[in-house]
């Protein structure tokens, strides 16, 4: 099976609401004047467990080039404490205030969806922003295994969509991971994506005959995996 993450489904990033508003920030030793502060918290598990030791790097960059960001400068770094809290203090030059972009990179190995994390980083001075608490689940692995590949004939195909979202009152990653197998296109009979643990997975299997875009059979299921769980999920045509 081939797999892909469907585009446009990282909805959490677009729907963040900043709490606490903007306030004037007092000078600090690391930021003697015109300082901007971003505060927030990371949790995991059931949403009540602090995520300790996540690394955050706030970066200013001019734009994008063939190899990624251009003119990148690190403006601040932080590590979440025992309660999952972090604080990023930074000041901006006139150039950084008026041009370019700011972003926050998060590094938290063994947690799912780190690359999809969005944190606010206002291109302003004398400002404090409190970001919503962000939930990062731990990882698990789910292998979707086609049990009867010989049943696929000609232009028959089967697809599997695995969807998940943070749930009520949680800020986190929402996405759908998809895989498919086709007799005409060949390929494998399984795909094994990394998925979030401790988060309800909704699994939809769609079956198509003779190149049709309308499925003749659809089944739906749900699954909840423990952290570091490795599970095989049988799929039949």
> What does pLDDT average to over the chain?
83
pLDDT, average across residues 78-97: 94
Q: How confident is the model at residue 128 (pLDDT cuts 50, 70, 90)?
A: very high
Structure tokens at 218: 């659809």
pLDDT of residue 182: 75
pLDDT of residue 187: 60
Q: What are phi and psi of 96, to 5 degrees?
A: -70, -25
Does the pLDDT at position 20 exceed 80? no
Q: Does residue 48 contact residue 26 with C-beta atoms inside 8 Å? A: no
pLDDT, average across residues 176-183: 82
Q: How confident is the model at residue 183 (pLDDT cuts 50, 70, 90)?
A: low
pLDDT, average across residues 111-123: 90
Instruction: Provide DSSP, 151-196.
Output: G--TT-EEEEEEEE---TT-B---EEEEEEEETTTB--SEE--EEE
CA–CA separation, 48 vs 220, rounded Å?
A: 30
Where do the domains of the chain lie, and which CATH numbers do they carry? Answer: 18-131 (2.60.40.10), 138-235 (2.60.40)
Q: Does residue 11 contact residue 164 with C-beta atoms inside 8 Å? A: no
Which helix (H) or strand (E) segment holds residue 95: the answer is helix 94-98
pLDDT, average across residues 224-234: 94
217 closest CA partner among 235, 195, 191: 235
In sequence order, the β-bridge partners of residue 187 are none
CA–CA separation, 190 vs 101, rounded Å?
A: 40
């Amino acid at each position: 099976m081939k797999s892909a993450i469907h585009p446009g489904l990282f909805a959490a990033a677009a729907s963040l609401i900043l709490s606490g508003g903007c306030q004037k920030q007092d000078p600090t030793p690391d930021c003697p004047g015109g300082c901007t502060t971003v505060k927030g918290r990371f949790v995991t598990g059931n949403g009540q467990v602090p995520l300790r030791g996540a690394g955050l790097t706030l970066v200013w960059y001019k734009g994008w080039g063939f190899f990624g960001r251009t003119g990148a400068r690190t403006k601040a770094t932080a590590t979440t404490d025992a309660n999952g809290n972090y604080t990023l203090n930074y000041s901006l030059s006139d150039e950084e205030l008026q041009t370019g972009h700011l972003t926050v990179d998060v590094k938290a190995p063994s947690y799912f969806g780190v690359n999809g994390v969005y944190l606010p980083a206002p291109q302003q001075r004398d400002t404090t922003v409190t970001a919503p608490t962000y939930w990062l689940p731990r990882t698990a692995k789910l292998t979707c295994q086609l049990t009867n590949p010989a049943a696929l004939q000609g232009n028959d195909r089967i697809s599997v969509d695995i969807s998940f979202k943070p749930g009520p009152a949680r800020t986190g990653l929402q996405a759908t991971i998809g895989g498919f197998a086709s007799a005409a296109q060949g390929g494998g009979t399984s795909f094994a994506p990394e998925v979030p643990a401790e988060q309800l997975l909704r699994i939809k299997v769609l079956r198509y005959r003779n190149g049709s875009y309308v499925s003749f059979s659809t089944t739906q299921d749900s699954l909840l995996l423990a952290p570091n769980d490795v599970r095989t999920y049988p799929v039949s045509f």
